[in-house]
């Protein structure tokens, strides 16, 4: 509902702007008939997991899409990242260099892989790992470098891979937010030693839960395929000699999920178009509100971008703080969160007892952003409503702020 | 029975035109699957602790006769998360006569597996085999309820209590199985189940952790994801172990049919018993009549001396018939990389690793199929003199 007075705000008891929660997640879905037609294949074959027919079809299609030699579907991206960090650990309890301005799961995955996270600062423009900072984080403990490709830019991939190569340290790309994005004219998928993507329902490609690893390294692909299915005796590939400490597990993607990812893969172009329309809608809706901007998609004139997120950048001059805007929008039914805040090294996701390093860029970035509702559950009218709401907040900030503080 | 059929391994026609597997793959009727998925699409709720996962958590707790059930991606993830939730450190004593995932899960949880031998009769660890392996570094014992038979819950619990150790179980074989009439699920600090398609309850993939300890349950629910709304305890390490609505939908349908699927398994088990009755050196391992079992496995024990051939001979000859058996657990986990470095001697484990054979059962296998399989097994024994010479059949 449109707000006329401050009392209309949901945080002060007014009716919500959105009666159903508006998520930060793609949540695309094909017509159910398309899904059921695919599901019928493994059902009739009585083949619901263990490298089933749809998993193989999905892997082939993704190889083609990314222009990469190997794709390994996994049960989720967490397992994919953890497997790679474990292999590259080579039996050593070392460290994985990772950005502090990033996803909260990453330090946990490193620990499952027997490694400690080494939090590193990011570059203020791409907001991905800063190559110079990575260089200074490298020690004899470093076992891999985890480069995260953010939605706004894949980051400084060449420079970061060069640092890895110079020190003979493998580089993994977390490309969960980079699906559909390109780097130097090529879609992500074939960079570094391996890349990991997600097919979680809230990501660009909905496969219920799931993920996949892409690589051009034949040996690594053979090893990962073996690792994904418990490193079963009798299936050991010759390439396993390269990773004698490789630890097996169950990271198999099932056919129920592969069917969904296959159905949604056909729709990817459409989702990106609709994302772009929502993004442009937000841009238009907040144009003219002083001190607010949308985080830009870098190099979007020359490179492909997926427009998966709309992230609001709140200037310090605003009459309300970032956290106040967040609380106000949440109360209205926007199921949103700040963007990578707090930074990992200052969050509960940092391993207990670790002294947080000084990472000024990450710390500063972490105070600025609000993720706005996106995805297929959000209409262009919703986008306009968020814009109008933000305009209202800006106009009434002086009245809202003290009232919020009083309520707290 | 008619004249002895010519075995495929000796140039005859295979008993089956297409392969039979050791896998339950019990499928609910398509109409029910379709309706369940239409519901998911209508709700537009696909992942992240959805309504069907919540329903399955509750329903499986009831099945397992336990206070708390927390469903996850698969059985291995269940074991990994359970080991973390129990706050263990150092060494965990575990059988090597088990599926490798149980041992691997310990290492993923930053623990050191220490192998312990099994008893020949139960095929499982016991207080007697565990106790000599306890050191100052031991924090827990992980037992496997093999073939759904209880892994000495009382003896191990008493030992762990006395020695100040935690106890937990790999219950991936043990859905709807009992110990002293009580459903497996509430023994030790926690138990881990599998809803893999090959198990009696089919979620395509899937797993579940169960416990009667509310504090452990809070930790399990927290470790399963990174969601702030799902944070019920302070835990040092979390993971994405979430089950999807698709898996939960399938598992719930399968749970509805659990009793009839178990009954059908029991019928197939009886068919094997009948088909192999009196055959020297070929025993069907028994399930205690006083306990519930899901009969998801039919396990044969081959006595080379009596039967006249090794288990591997039988395995090879049946494979040629398109009867794809399994040799769980061959080799023992202590013999596979990277665990073989421990160089531990486990004579009972090695003995069993060479003798057991799991034969096809599950919805796709009829009692007629089983009669034919048994007929071929008899023919294999009849041809033992010819087959004995073929020692180079398999590695």
Q: What is the pLDDT of residue A2?
A: 80
Q: Are B134 and B167 in contact (CB under 8 A)?
A: no
- B30 to each of A251, A258, A263, B243, B250, how far by Cα in Å? 27, 18, 19, 22, 11
Per the CB < 8 Å rule, is A202 touching B77? no
Q: Do B46 and A29 touch (CB under 8 A)?
A: yes
- In this predicted model, what pLDDT tens digit does every residue of A101-120 receive, in sequence order? 999 999 999 999 999 999 99
Q: What is the pLDDT of residue A5?
A: 94
What is the CB neighbour count within 10 angstroms for residue B367? Answer: 15
pLDDT tens digits along B178-228: 999 999 999 999 999 999 999 999 999 999 999 999 999 999 999 999 999
Cα–Cα separations (whole angstroms), residue A347 to A103, A104, A263, A372, B235: 11, 8, 38, 22, 13
Which position has the higher pLDDT, B395 or B150?
Answer: B150
Percent of chain B at pLDDT above 90? 95
Which residues 221-260 on chain B approach chain A with CB closer than 8 angstroms? 226, 236-240, 242-247, 250
Q: Which of B15, B292, B328 is nearest to B146 (CA)?
A: B328
For residues B96 and B233, what is the distance between their CA atoms, to the nearest angstrom?
Answer: 33
Do A374 and A202 meet the contact criterion of CB atoms below 8 Å apart? no
Nearest-CA neighbor of A129 among A103, A97, A106?
A97
Digit-coded pLDDT (tens) for A139-180: 999 999 999 999 999 999 999 999 999 999 999 999 999 999
Q: Write out pLDDT tens, residues A278-317.
A: 999 999 999 999 999 999 999 999 999 999 999 999 999 9
> By three-state DSSP, how is residue A226 classified?
helix
DSSP A327-396: HHHHHTTEE--BSS-S-GGGSTTSPTTPPPP--HHHHHHTTTEEEPPBSTT--HHHHHHHHHHHHHHHHH
Q: What is the percent of chain A where pLDDT is above 90?
A: 98
Section A232-242 average pLDDT: 95
- Residue B93 and residue B143: Cα distance in Å, rounded? 8
| Nearest CA distance, A259 vs chain B (angstrom) | 11
Q: Does the beta-carbon distance from A352 to B236 stay under 8 Å?
A: yes
Q: Write out the two tokens for A312.
A: 């609001």
Q: Do the Cβ atoms of A206 and B110 come within 8 Å?
A: no
The per-residue pLDDT for range B249-288, each reduced to its tens digit, is 999 999 999 999 999 999 999 999 999 999 999 999 999 9
User: Between chain A and chain B, how many beta carbons pairs sit less than 8 Å apart?
Assistant: 149
As a whole number of Å, the end-to-end CA separation of chain A is 24
User: Over 90: is that where the pLDDT of B388 sits?
Assistant: no
- Check whether A321 has a pLDDT greater than 90: yes
Candidate from B1-15, B270-284, B319-333 with smallest mean pLDDT: B1-15
C-alpha A186: how far from its chain's center? 19
Determine whether the interchain pair B197/A49 forms a contact, defined as Cβ–Cβ distance below 8 Å.
yes
How far, in Å, CA of B181 to CA of B170, rounded?
19
Q: Which of A49, A78, A202 sits opposite B204 (nearest CB)?
A: A49
The pLDDT value given to residue A189: 98
Say whether A247 and B108 touch across the interface (CB within 8 A).
yes
**Cis peptide bond upstream of B208, omega within 30:** no
Q: Which among B71, B296, B87, B84 has a CA at the least distance from the CA of B185?
A: B71
Chain A partners within 8 Å of B33 (Cβ) = 39, 43
Note whether B75 contacts A: Cβ–Cβ < 8 A: yes
pLDDT, average across residues A318-346:
96
Q: Is the pLDDT of residue B61 over 80?
A: yes
pLDDT at position B393, please? 52
- Which of B 155-214 lie inside 8 A of A, CB atoms? 196-197, 202, 204-205
Torsions phi, psi for A304 (to 5 deg): -80, 140
Looking at chain A, which residue has its C-alpha nearest residue B84?
Answer: A112
Please report, rounded to a whole number, the percentage of residues in chain B having pLDDT higher than 70.
Answer: 97
- C-beta atoms of B202 and A48 within 8 A: yes
Partners of B250 on chain A (C-beta within 8 Å) are 48, 256
| Contact between chains at B204 and A35 (C-beta distance less than 8 A) | no
Percent of chain A surpassing pLDDT 70:
100
pTM over 0.95: yes
């Amino acid at each position: 509902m449109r707000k006329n007075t401050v009392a209309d705000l949901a945080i002060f008891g007014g009716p919500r702007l959105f009666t159903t929660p508006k998520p930060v997640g793609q949540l695309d879905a094909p017509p159910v008939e398309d899904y059921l037609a695919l599901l019928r294949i493994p059902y009739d074959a009585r083949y619901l997991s263990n490298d089933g027919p749809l998993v193989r079809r999905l892997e082939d299609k993704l190889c083609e899409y990314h222009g990469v030699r190997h794709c390994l579907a996994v049960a989720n991206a967490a397992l994919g990242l953890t497997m790679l960090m474990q292999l590259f650990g080579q039996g050593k309890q070392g460290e994985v260099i990772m950005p502090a301005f990033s996803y909260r799961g990453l330090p946990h995955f490193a620990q499952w892989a027997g490694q400690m996270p080494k939090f590193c600062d990011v570059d203020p423009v791409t907001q991905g790992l800063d190559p110079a900072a990575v260089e200074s984080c490298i020690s004899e403990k470093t076992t891999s470098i985890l480069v995260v490709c953010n939605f706004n830019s894949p980051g400084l991939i060449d420079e970061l891979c060069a640092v890895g190569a110079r020190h003979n340290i493998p580089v993994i790309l977390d490309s969960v937010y980079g699906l559909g994005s390109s780097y130097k004219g090529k879609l992500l998928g074939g960079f570094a030693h391996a890349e990991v993507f997600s097919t979680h329902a809230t990501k660009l490609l909905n496969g219920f839960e799931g993920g996949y690893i892409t690589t051009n390294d034949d040996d690594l692909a053979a090893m990962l395929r073996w690792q994904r299915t418990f490193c079963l005796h009798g299936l050991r590939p010759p390439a396993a000699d390269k990773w004698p400490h490789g630890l097996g597990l169950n990271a198999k993607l099932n056919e129920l999920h592969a069917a969904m990812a296959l159905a949604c893969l056909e729709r990817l172009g459409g989702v990106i178009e609709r994302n772009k329309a929502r993004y442009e809608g937000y841009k238009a809706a907040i144009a003219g509100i002083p001190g607010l901007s949308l985080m830009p998609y870098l190099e979007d004139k020359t490179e492909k971008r997926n427009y998966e997120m709309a992230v609001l950048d709140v200037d310090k001059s605003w009459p309300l703080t970032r956290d106040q805007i967040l609380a106000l929008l949440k109360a209205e039914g926007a199921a949103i969160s700040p963007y990578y805040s707090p930074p990992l090294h200052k969050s509960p996701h940092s391993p207990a007892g670790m002294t947080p390093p000084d990472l000024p860029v990450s710390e500063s970035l972490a105070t600025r952003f609000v993720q706005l509702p996106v995805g297929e559950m959000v209409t262009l009218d919703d986008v306009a409503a968020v814009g109008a709401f933000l305009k209202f907040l800006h106009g009434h900030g002086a009245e809202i702020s003290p009232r919020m503080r009083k309520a707290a | 029975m008619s004249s002895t059929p010519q075995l495929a391994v000796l140039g005859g026609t295979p008993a089956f035109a297409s392969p039979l597997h050791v896998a339950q793959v019990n499928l609910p009727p398509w109409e029910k699957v379709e309706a369940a998925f239409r519901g998911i699409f209508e709700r537009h709720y696909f992942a992240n602790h959805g309504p069907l996962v919540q329903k399955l958590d509750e329903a499986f707790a009831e099945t397992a006769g336990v206070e708390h059930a927390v469903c996850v991606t698969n059985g291995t993830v269940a074991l990994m998360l359970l080991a973390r939730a129990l706050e263990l450190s150092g060494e965990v004593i575990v059988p090597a006569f088990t599926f490798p995932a149980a041992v691997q899960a310990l290492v993923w949880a930053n623990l050191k597996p220490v192998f312990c031998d099994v008893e020949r009769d139960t095929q499982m660890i016991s207080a007697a085999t565990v106790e000599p392996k306890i050191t100052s570094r031991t924090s827990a014992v992980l037992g496997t309820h093999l073939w759904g038979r209880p892994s000495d819950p009382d003896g191990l619990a008493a030992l762990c209590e006395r020695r100040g150790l935690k106890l937990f179980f790999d219950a991936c074989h043990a859905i709807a199985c009992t110990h002293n009439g009580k459903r497996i699920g509430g023994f030790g600090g926690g138990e881990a189940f599998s809803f893999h398609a090959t198990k009696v309850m089919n979620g395509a993939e899937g797993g579940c952790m169960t416990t009667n300890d509310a504090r452990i349950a809070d930790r399990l629910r927290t470790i399963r994801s990174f969601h702030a709304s799902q944070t019920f305890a302070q835990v040092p390490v979390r993971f994405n172990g979430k089950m999807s609505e698709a898996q939960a939908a399938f598992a719930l349908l399968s749970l509805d049919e659990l009793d009839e699927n178990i009954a059908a398994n029991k019928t197939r088990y009886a068919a094997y018993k009948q088909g192999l009755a009196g055959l020297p050196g070929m025993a069907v391992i028994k399930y205690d009549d006083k306990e519930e079992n899901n009969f998801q496995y039919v396990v044969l024990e081959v006595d080379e001396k009596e039967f006249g051939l090794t288990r591997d001979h039988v395995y090879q000859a049946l494979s040629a018939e398109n009867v794809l058996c399994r040799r769980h657990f061959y080799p023992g986990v202590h013999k596979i990389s990277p665990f073989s470095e421990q160089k531990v001697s486990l004579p009972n484990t090695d003995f069993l690793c060479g003798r057991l054979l799991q034969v096809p059962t599950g919805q796709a296998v009829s009692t007629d199929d089983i009669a034919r399989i048994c007929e071929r097994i008899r023919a294999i024994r009849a041809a033992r003199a010819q087959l004995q010479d073929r020692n180079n059949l398999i590695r």
